Chains A and B, each alone.
Chain A
Amino acid sequence: MRYRRITPYLFIGPMIVGLLVFRLIPIVASLAASFTRWNVFTAPTWVGLANYRAMLGSPDFWQILRNTGVFALLYVPGTMGLGLALALLVNRELRGVTALRGVFFMPYITSVVAVAIVWRWIFATQYGVLNYLLTRVFGMAQGPSWLGDAHYALLALAIVYVWQSSGFQMLLFLAGLQNLDLSLEEAARCDGATRWQVFRHITLPLLSPMTFFILIVSLINSSKTFQVTYALTGGGPQNASTTLAYAIYQNAFVFFRMGYASALAYALLVVVGAITLANFGLRRRWVYHDEPRAS
């Protein structure tokens, strides 16, 4: 297709301006800021690598990094496993299946803050309905203080986040399943393969490009925890549920340590970047490619 030379740039123009001003330049500016000591009210002073040295030497930082990792380990398998299970179950001709898909997707189309507040009420230690069920129905001696106990706070955040997002994962998996070519599965069934064999050796490999896409999206989402944390625990008790995203906000806009917060922002960028790159590197090992081979 031939267009005049200038045409494509007119079409992408608005997006490129936005991309530069709101994303690319700030990414570079964050890096520059991470080499300064800066409280917003006075001019920044250059301190070289001091912020990074302070960060790596601080036990708080390692705890926050650990929290971020633990949260991802709870959230990513939880939401993907649930999303895939739901997608498989609703990808069939059953009565009422459309309504069920709507039900499972519902938590995703609600306000995260509203949902977090509802869960805070469910988690409430004394009058909350969860602890009521645990003690009176399941016979536990005492329900935990979900949001006030360092052992449970991250788990509570992950439960809310998984509950909120697994419907979206279901939808993506469902789109993947509906794009599959069913003839292979049917042929295998005719040849006497069990359902598990068909699922394990045909459905899963065919679905793997979508699974890869969802894995990347979920990993990135697991680093975007600001809303739930802000509404549920505020990072507490102490630092027990502070993740990197939340620590950036706290340092920058509560303690006004812009330089240090920028160093944390870069730590987050490096962690997310390294994990994403590692996944692209491992992609060949398990993602199936349907490309015609030269013979």
Chain B
Amino acid sequence: MTSRAPRSPSTARKGGWARLSTVVVYAFLAGFAVLTLFPFLWMVLTSFQTPGDTFRIPPSLTPSLLFSAHPFANFAELFQRFSFGRYLLNSVFVSTVAAAGQLVTCSLAGFAFARMRFPGRGLLFGALVFTMFVPTEVTIIPEFLLMAKLNWLDTYLPLIVPSLMVGAFGTFLLTETFRSVPYGLEEAATIDGASPLRIYWHLFMPVARPALVSLFVIAFIDNWNELLRAVLYISSNDLKTAPLGLVSLQGQYQSEWTLLMAGSLLSILPMIVVYLLAQKYIVQGFVTSGIK
């Protein structure tokens, strides 16, 4: 399937082969699409079933609750018995603040790295790129002790601050994006007496919009998915994030698949909303950044 060049170069020769190959491509794509979507369908289906439905062979394909008096019984139970609404709000809050903060810190740093010359620039940029290669697990023990010293355990802060301040990937992405802006504009603005902050805000930020949107989505997803820090730093039920809430639910109810699937479905909905809102910018953001 990799034996075909992307974008058929010649549209003139549309013979039987071209039509056949289109059919083959569609068949592969459809197959992959089914594999990709199946777990989601299964999750949705199970979250509208009763526990009894999940212990059948062959597996039951009817969302039986939809035909009952309480179609959303599993979701209702999550909200009433397990404060799942609270978990979701916590995750939305933490991920939004951390991702929005990253846009500020990464774009400021990216602007300086891309457009200013200063002593230590190479070294600092090198250190930043180096930390991209260092998994969080390597630094988590000192980080934990630092959080304990700062009295930040069991607060939102350890979930927000480290991620907000060090967006290595984001800085890298925005540095590359800002580098591709033509110099002429900046020269003109400086001659007109604009301050660096104005140039950054009025000239560079608008140009980088697709990259900024992509970065927000990626940072939002990364923060939403942060489980290690949540496991270590959060102990009160009120502060649990959605993934932490889900794993605690799984710890208590190993095989209550109907509840677990309803919870899983709830915890991916906010991310899908964010993605759909930003979708049209995402590929564009990577293309214009010129990362090759």
How long is the Cα–Cα vector from A118 to B36 in the complex, in angstroms? 13
Task: Say whether, besides A15-B108, A113-B227, A245-B137, A179 and B287 are in contact (CB < 8 Å).
Answer: yes
How long is the Cα–Cα vector from A2 to B57 in the complex, in angstroms? 73
How long is the Cα–Cα vector from A7 to B111 in the complex, in angstroms? 11
| B5 with A185: CB separation less than 8 A | yes
In the complex, 6 of the A-B residue pairs with CB atoms within 8 angstroms, ordered by the A residue number, are A22-B143, A22-B166, A88-B4, A88-B6, A245-B135, A269-B138
For B117, the chain A residues whose CB sits under 8 A away are 8
Chain A nearest CB: distance from B221 CB in Å? Answer: 6
Q: Is residue A276 within 8 Å, beta carbon to beta carbon, of the partner chain?
A: yes
For B137, the chain A residues whose CB sits under 8 A away are 223-224, 226, 244-245, 248-249, 265, 268
| A171 with B283: CB separation less than 8 A | yes
Task: Say whether, besides A110-B272, A136-B58, A265-B137, A89 and B142 are in contact (CB < 8 Å).
Answer: no
Interface centre among A30, A84, A175, A213 (most CB of B within 10 A): A175
Q: Is residue A220 within 8 Å, beta carbon to beta carbon, of the partner chain?
A: yes
| B116 with A111: CB separation less than 8 A | no
A residues at B contact (CB < 8 Å): 1-3, 5, 7-9, 11-12, 14-19, 21-27, 29-30, 33, 84-94, 100-115, 117-122, 124, 127, 129, 132, 136, 163, 167, 171-172, 174-179, 182, 185-186, 189, 195-196, 198-199, 203, 209-210, 213, 216, 220, 223-224, 226-227, 230-231, 244-245, 248-249, 252-253, 258, 261-262, 265-266, 268-269, 272-273, 276
For B59, the chain A residues whose CB sits under 8 A away are 127, 129, 132
| A195 with B4: CB separation less than 8 A | yes
| B264 with A15: CB separation less than 8 A | no
Q: Is residue B8 within 8 Å, beta carbon to beta carbon, of the partner chain?
A: yes
Give the nearest-CB partner of A251 in chain B: B141
Q: Is residue B103 within 8 Å, beta carbon to beta carbon, of the partner chain?
A: no
Interface flags, B116-146, vs A, CB<8A=1, else 0: 1110010010011001111111111111101
Chain A nearest CB: distance from B43 CB in Å? Answer: 5
Q: Is residue B97 within 8 Å, beta carbon to beta carbon, of the partner chain?
A: no
For B209, the chain A residues whose CB sits under 8 A away are none
For A93, the chain B residues whose CB sits under 8 A away are 7
Given pairs A3-B116, A22-B162, A110-B271, 15 additional interface contacts (CB within 8 A): A1-B187, A8-B117, A8-B121, A14-B105, A15-B109, A16-B124, A30-B139, A102-B279, A106-B37, A109-B274, A199-B3, A227-B228, A244-B137, A265-B138, A276-B133
Give the nearest-CB partner of B148 in chain A: A40
Task: Say whether, besides A15-B108, A103-B37, A5 and B118 are in contact (CB < 8 Å).
Answer: yes
Count of residues in B whose CB is under 8 Å from the partner chain: 110
Chain B nearest CB: distance from A112 CB in Å? Answer: 5
Contact of A89 among B29, B116, B124, B131 (CB under 8 A): B29
| B46 with A121: CB separation less than 8 A | yes
